[in-house]
Amino acid sequence: MLETGVRQVRVALSMVFGRRLNVRAVERLVADALLTLEEFGSLGDDVDELADGPFADPDERRDLQNRALQRTVRRLAKRSPFYRERLAGLDLDGLTAETLTRIPVTRKADLIARPADFLCSAPYLSTQTTGTTGRPVQIWLSRYEMELWPALISLSMVLRGDLGPGDRMQINLSSRATAAVQEDVEVCRLANASCHVVGQIPADESVEHLLGRGGNRPTVLTGNPSYLGLMVTAARQRGYGPDDFGLRAIYAGGEMLSRSLAQALRETFGAAEVGDTFGMTELLPVGGRTCGRGHLHIDPTWGTPRCSTWRPASPPDPAGSAS
């Protein structure tokens, strides 16, 4: 327990002071959480505080975000030719979440035209956008990023009970999404869960994989809403219902998830939880989760939203409840 406490302090201090995180220390925290679950059956009453890290207090969170933002722009100005130009003339040490809008928006055309000018470290893994129209955007990630992100994601999922030993994740993501697929595989490894990378094959075949005829029925499913919708149609056409599957959770991401599709996923596959997550290849690792009231929460560990206001793209559903 003492070693676990030391690791927690080391990781928290690294976040607070913007130091490079020790990937192995984060991985050991995941293992510590799994051992605690095995021995005591729960992680204790303070697990939410641990999952949120040093960002629970609003004032502390704002201060930490501003300092992290300032460190990020200083590093970009030093290492990225594109952002050296984009940030010229700005007071980088005085930049805050409120004044972030002073930086012009980086567009898809910029990423396609000048990919090398965005690199800040040695490239390790190339991935591409999957939901874009026209030419996909290619994004390069460092080895440090590809090791750290799964460790932090798996720690969060284990602490929140979203994934753990005994789970089996079926991954129905595009083969172009190499980073997302590799992250999911590593997250399952660290959480001591198994995984099955199915990809976006014909939807009826993916439904057959969910049945787990070999005795290993998936308990978690992840995919894009449009593809998950095809799976709902395929399952219903074959007369399958919730009793035919062993899913307890479905995590959708990469596209908008409608209320009707979320309800169809619950009714068809019997998953008690349908998670609506936000993420984009261009913004890796920044992401967020939608709470039960339909509010999107960006994880402060990963990034800072550009603006604090949000307007719906279409009028709210009159049949739905306001939040």
Tell me the pTM.
Answer: 0.79
CA distance 200 to 175: 8
Higher pLDDT, 187 or 288: 187
In this prediction, residue 13 carries a pLDDT of 59
Max mean pLDDT among 18-22, 51-55, 236-240 falls in: 236-240
The answer to whether the bond into 81 is cis (omega within 30° of 0) is: no
Question: Are the C-beta atoms of 169 and 221 separated by less than 8 Å?
Answer: yes
Q: Mean pLDDT across the chain, nearest whole number? A: 83
Task: Locate the DSSP E strands across 52-206.
Answer: 125-128, 138-141, 168-172, 194-197
Segment 152-162 mean pLDDT? 89
What's residue 44's pLDDT?
62
Task: Report CA 36 to chain centroid distance, whole Å.
Answer: 24
Mean pLDDT in residue range 195-201: 95
Please give the single-letter amino acid code of residue 274. Answer: V
pLDDT digits (tens, 9 = 90+) for 58-69: 787 788 888 888
What is the reported pLDDT for 322?
33
pLDDT, tens only, 71-120? 989 999 999 999 999 999 999 999 998 898 889 989 888 988 999 999 99
Per domain, the residue ranges of the chain are 2-44, 144-298
Looking at the structure, give the CATH architecture of the domain made up of residues 144-298: 3-Layer(aba) Sandwich (3.40)
Quick: pLDDT tens for 129-147.
876 667 788 888 899 989 9
